[in-house]
Amino acid sequence: MPSQAYGFYSKGCLAGGRAIATDGEYWQAMRLSRNRRWGHPELIATVEQLSRDVAKYDGWPGLLVGDISQPRGGPMLTGHASHQVGLDADIWLTPMPNRRFSASEREAISAKSVLKSKSVVVDPKIWTDAHAGLIMRAASYPQVQRILVHPGIKKKLCDSWKGDRALLAKVRPYYGHHYHMHVRLRCPKGSANCKAQNAVPADQGCGKVLDWWFDVALKPKKPTKPSKPKKPTKPKKPRQMMLNDLPSACTGVLNAAGPASEASVTIGAAGIEQTVYARIAGNASPSSMPALIPIPTPRPTP
């Protein structure tokens, strides 16, 4: 199908996706068994360009590429609310080593947090100018709309970034994201049914809005006095995302014939998403199929 993102980052699918190669001169794709190396061609090209640029200009030897999307996008069994339309890519905040990882290493090796252990601040023994260069290089691309990082990383950039400060607006603080950054592209041209996210606020986001994360959101909760025991309530079943929650075009995306490469990149027993997708695609009434992921409880918009 022609390459198009359908719907929103957290509720949509991807037609005409492209898989990033497992290896490039300046990147290695990780967790190959997940088969989440697929994205809109514009995103794949952006990741490839980022890998070259950071190696050339920022002292970052190469990218370890984490999850992008499933071959046809859509909700996943594990891990992400977004990453559904092929416009989100996770890039590890761990530099690529000077050798090729084996397939099994790519399953087992973990990214390294850049935070000081048990804290919300960046560890100066881990953080380097190249980390900052990597994030801000991605922010410099016009097609990149926002980058999600841990508030501690945003703070570090606010305090130290000497380049174009206006780009800090694109770097958005969010929970997690101290092992990897999450790069999100705008809806590409030719994706008329891609639902755009709000623009990022124009200011750098370094003042009070950032303080909120440290003063409120990430503050350890004070233990509360034990209250009267509550009547036991029936646990609510999380609502499951159904195919008919997605844009209607996604039914066509699921049912379309795919290239053989779509399945051949699934390695080992862990190609679960692919299997589920195939099952849905083969089901007579796909809209009645249960979902792949519970709809997450709302959190502040990153």
Q: Kindly state the number of chain residues that form the binding site for Zn ion, as judged by CB under 5 A.
A: 2
- Residue placing its CB nearer to Zn ion in the complex, 173 or 258: 173
- Residue placing its CB nearer to Zn ion in the complex, 72 or 146: 146
Interacting span for Zn ion (CB under 5 A) from 71-79, 177-185, 242-250, 267-275: 177-185
Instruction: Enumerate the β-bridge partners of residue 171.
Output: 147
CB 63 within 8 A of CB 54: yes
- Residue placing its CB nearer to Zn ion in the complex, 18 or 182: 182
What are residue 10's phi and psi, to 5 degrees? Answer: -110, 10
Residue with the closest Cβ to Zn ion? 182
Q: Which of 42, 53, 90, 273 forms a contact with Zn ion (CB under 5 A)?
A: 90
Q: What is the DSSP letter of 264?
A: H
Q: How many CB atoms lie within 10 A of CB 7?
A: 23
- Residue placing its CB nearer to Zn ion in the complex, 131 or 182: 182
CB 85 within 8 A of CB 12: yes
Q: What is the DSSP letter of 109?
A: -
- Residue placing its CB nearer to Zn ion in the complex, 48 or 90: 90
Q: How many CB atoms lie within 10 A of CB 295?
A: 16
Q: Minimum CB separation from Zn ion for residue 130, in Å?
A: 21
Q: Minimum CB separation from Zn ion for residue 101, in Å?
A: 20
Helix (H) or strand (E) holding 208: helix 208-212
What tokens were used for 126? 């881990």
Q: Minimum CB separation from Zn ion for residue 98, in Å?
A: 26
How many whole angstroms separate alpha carbon 49 and alpha carbon 298? 33
Residue 198 three-state SS: coil
Residue 98 three-state SS: coil
Instruction: Enumerate the β-bridge partners of residue 148.
Output: 172, 182
CB 196 within 8 A of CB 186: yes
Q: Which of 182, 183, 188, 276 forms a contact with Zn ion (CB under 5 A)?
A: 182
- Residue placing its CB nearer to Zn ion in the complex, 3 or 82: 82
Helix (H) or strand (E) holding 49: helix 41-57
Interacting span for Zn ion (CB under 5 A) from 27-35, 135-143, 180-188, 225-233: 180-188
Interacting span for Zn ion (CB under 5 A) from 99-107, 153-161, 175-183, 289-297: 175-183
What tokens were used for 61? 């030897």
Interacting span for Zn ion (CB under 5 A) from 20-28, 54-62, 88-96, 255-263: 88-96
- Residue placing its CB nearer to Zn ion in the complex, 42 or 90: 90
Contact status: 40 vs Zn ion (CB under 5 A) = no
What is the binding site for Zn ion (CB under 5 A)? 90, 182
